[in-house]
Amino acid sequence: MELEDQQQICDWRIKYNTYSRQGFINDKQQWLDKQYEWYHSYDRDRNHFFAIAQNTDEKNNNLLGITGLKDIDYVDYKAEIHHFIGENYIDENISKASIDLICDYAFKDLSLNCVYVETFEHDHKKFNFFKNYGFKHLCLWPQKTATKQKDNNEVNFINVNIQILLKNGESTDD
């Protein structure tokens, strides 16, 4: 994932209205500023992000989305999967292939034992995708979302589902 990808990612997020429905920033320039700020500041040792792209020819790639591991914990051997597909490319085959690759990277290359995802409570399609992939539902968790929209510093909460996948498909049930 490169700096020039950030504009496209920001446009997708705004067009999808993914976060603004939940009380997040809904001003395009604020989003873009946050996206660039994030890109320049994220810890590349603990966060590994990759572009999901389609080769259109030898020199050009068509950005389809992003995927990666966030908050990699090398002590407890776990990480959060971040996965976002752009609007014109929503396709279970693309999502499955990218999750296959990121899980393989997490379990084999980084020797992690667990990956997890957070999905918004209302995002049934994404929740079911990860459930069908083999992730187990762990809990529904209220997550704090600080909004700083112009003169507004209110704090909101949104419910997120936490779903977990253990190395080798081991069950979380005892």
How much is the pLDDT for 21? 44
Residue spans per domain, the chain: 3-169
Sign, Cα dihedral of 5, 11, 16, 21: positive
Return the residue matching tokens 């079911």.
128
Tens of pLDDT along 53-91? 777 666 666 778 888 898 999 999 999 998 887 765 567
Return the residue matching tokens 């069950």.
171
Tens of pLDDT along 37-46? 766 666 667 7
- Indicate the CATH number of 3-169 among 2.40.50.100, 3.40.630.30, 3.40.47.10, 3.30.1510.10: 3.40.630.30
Return the residue matching tokens 């005892």.
174
Q: Which residue has the higher pLDDT, 126 or 92?
A: 126
Burial 64-85 (b: 16+ CB within 10 A, else e): bbbbbbbebeeeebbbbbbbbb
Q: What is the rounded CA–CA span in Å between residue 74 and residue 32?
A: 31
The DSSP secondary structure of 110-163, one letter per residue, reads S--SEEEEEEETT-HHHHHHHHHHTPEEEEEEEEEEE--BTTB--EEEEEEEEE
Residues in Cβ contact with 30 at an 8 Å cutoff, skipping those fewer than 6 apart:
149
Lowest mean pLDDT among 13-22, 51-60, 65-74, 116-125: 13-22
Sign, Cα dihedral of 25, 29, 35, 36: negative
